[in-house]
Structure 1
Amino acid sequence: MAYHQAGEQRKFQLQELDELRLDAYENARIYKKKERLPCRPKSKLRSRWDGPFVITNIFPHGAVQLKDEHTNNTFQVNGHQIKPFHEGPAPTINDIEIISLVEPTPPDGTT
C-alpha cells in the first residue's frame, strides 16, 4: 500500500510542476506583450518643425536668439539646429496658370 500512496503522491507532484510551468509560460507571454507596446515609436515620421521664428541676436560662439511671434517668447538655440526659411513670391490675384488636361496622342500615330 505504501508503494501505491507514493505513486499517487509523485503523480500529484508532477501535475503541480506542470501547472507551475504553464503558469510561468503564461506570465512570460503577458510580460512580453506588455513590454513590446512602449517600444513602438508613436510616430517616427511626424513633423518636428516649429516656427517660423525671428532671429533677434546672433552671439559670437554660434548661439542664436530666436523670438516666437505668436507668444513673444525669446530663447537661445545652437545655430546649427536652425534652418533658413525662404518665403517664395506671394501669388497675386491676377496671376492664373492654365494647365491643359487633354490626353496626349502617341507619337507613332496609333490610337
Structure 2
Amino acid sequence: MKLTTYESSKLYKEKVKLYHDRKIRQKDFRMGQSVLLFNSRMKLFPSKLRSKWAGPFLIKEVKSHGAIEMQDPMSQRSWVVNGQRVQPYLGGDVERLTTIINMSYA
C-alpha cells in the first residue's frame, strides 16, 4: 500500500510541475531595451495605491545566467539585478518616487 501511495504522489507532483511550467513566460531582453524594475525592498509605509514598478531603465548588459546589468538614464548609475525582477517597458508615464528617511537611535 505504501508503494502505491508513493507512486501516485510522484505522478501528481509531475502533473503539477508540468502545469506550472506551461504558465511560465520566457523573457528575452537585449541591450538598449527599456525595462521596469520590481521594487520589493524595505516597505516602511505600505499603501495600496503606490506602484511597485520603478523605471524605466536601460539594459546595459545581459549575463548568461539570467542577471541583467541596468543603467538609470538620469543619474547614469548602473547595477546588476535578477532577471526575474524585470519586465519590458511598453511606454507611458511611471511615477518616480524618491524618499529620504533619516533614522536615529534614541
> What TM bracket, shorter-length normalisation?
0.3 to 0.5
Q: What is the TM-score with the length of structure 1 in the denominator?
A: 0.39
Structure with more of its chain in strand, by fraction: 2
Structure with more of its chain in helix, by fraction: 1
Larger Rg: 1
Q: Which has the higher contact order (CA 8 A, sep 6+)?
A: 2
